[in-house]
Amino acid sequence: MIIVHEIIERLKDIISKDSNEKRIFDKDVATELDITQVNFATMKNRGKIPYDKILDFCAKKKISINWLLYNQHPGSLVDTTDKYWIRYYPNVKVSAGGGSFADGEEFTSLDVPEYFIKFFGGLQNIKNIEAINVVGDSMEPTIQNDSIIFLDITKTDISKSGIFAFLYEETLYVKRVYKENNFFRMVSDNSEYEDMICDWSSVKIYGKVVSSLSNI
């Protein structure tokens, strides 16, 4: 389990090394994370972790987020890395026919090779990419069962063609999404599956699929 106060102490250690070992306070951490002191105090009291801010901080400092969140690599302050990585949510499973939605806030870093960056919209867009698992065969052959899909969470406009992950009735699906009047038509690439018709007000678009990885 990730403990907020432990992460804050690690952040203070990092900031202190960049500030000639001077004493670091919560307000200094809030400044580094670009969070107001009031919001930082609320976050700390509620045990909430600002993952997006920490992700940006780690990228800027070139340190391992695994060390910061899980204390896995204590040498990361010395051995910096220029690897490219994105947020991967191992506990989130998107249904492509037979899965269920297992929500989880915790993510881990997933290293990706440099030549993948172009599929994600370039370096400037990599912070908008998230990776989740696919369970089921309704999108085969395009997306295989047990694949990992990469989503651009800023692309939620379904007026442009593509495959989207969306939340409907507490289940996260991946389908081709088409808007028709006051409802959405969700189409599977596997012809064995019928189209889903969903009222537009009951659907939340999570992001557009920009790439995938499978065992085949």
Max mean pLDDT range (58-72, 97-111, 191-205): 191-205
Residue 150 confidence (pLDDT): 93
Q: Reply yes or no on whether the pLDDT at 100 is more than 50.
A: no
Q: Reply yes or no on whether the pLDDT at 33 is more than 70.
A: yes
Task: Please give the share of the chain, as a percent, with pLDDT higher than 70.
Answer: 83
pLDDT in tens, 163-208: 999 988 888 899 999 888 888 899 999 999 999 998 888 888 989 9
Lowest mean pLDDT among 79-83, 110-114, 117-121, 177-181: 79-83
Q: Reply yes or no on whether the pLDDT at 84 is more than 50.
A: yes
Residue 121, C-beta contacts closer than 8 angstroms, at least 6 positions apart: 128, 129, 152, 210
Residues 87, 106: Cα–Cα separation, whole Å = 9
Residue 26, C-beta contacts closer than 8 angstroms, at least 6 positions apart: 8, 37, 40, 41, 44
Domain boundaries defined on the chain = 4-77, 84-213
Residues 184, 81: Cα–Cα separation, whole Å = 43
Residues 93, 102: Cα–Cα separation, whole Å = 6
| Residue 181: burial class (beta carbons within 10 Å; 0-12, 13-18, 19+) | exposed
Residue 190 confidence (pLDDT): 94
| Three-state secondary structure call for residue 30 | helix
* Same topology between domain 4-77 and domain 84-213: no
Max mean pLDDT range (36-40, 48-52, 180-184): 36-40
pLDDT in tens, 3-23: 788 888 888 888 887 777 678
Quick check: 151 and 131 in contact, CB under 8 A?
yes
Q: Reply yes or no on whether the pLDDT at 28 is more than 60.
A: yes
CATH architecture of 4-77: Orthogonal Bundle (1.10)
Kindly give the pairing relationship between strand 129-135 and strand 84-95. Answer: parallel
Residue 101 confidence (pLDDT): 47
Residue 70 confidence (pLDDT): 62
What average pLDDT score do residues 147-171 get?
Answer: 89
Q: How far is CA 91 from CA 53, 55, 72, 124, in A?
A: 21, 19, 19, 26
Q: Reply yes or no on whether the pLDDT at 83 is more than 70.
A: no
CATH architecture of 84-213: Ribbon (2.10)
| DSSP summary character for residue 189 | S
Quick check: 178 and 163 in contact, CB under 8 A?
no
Residue 216 confidence (pLDDT): 55
**Residue 152 banded pLDDT, cuts 50, 70, 90:** very high
Residue 179, C-beta contacts closer than 8 angstroms, at least 6 positions apart: 158, 159, 185, 200
| Three-state secondary structure call for residue 200 | helix
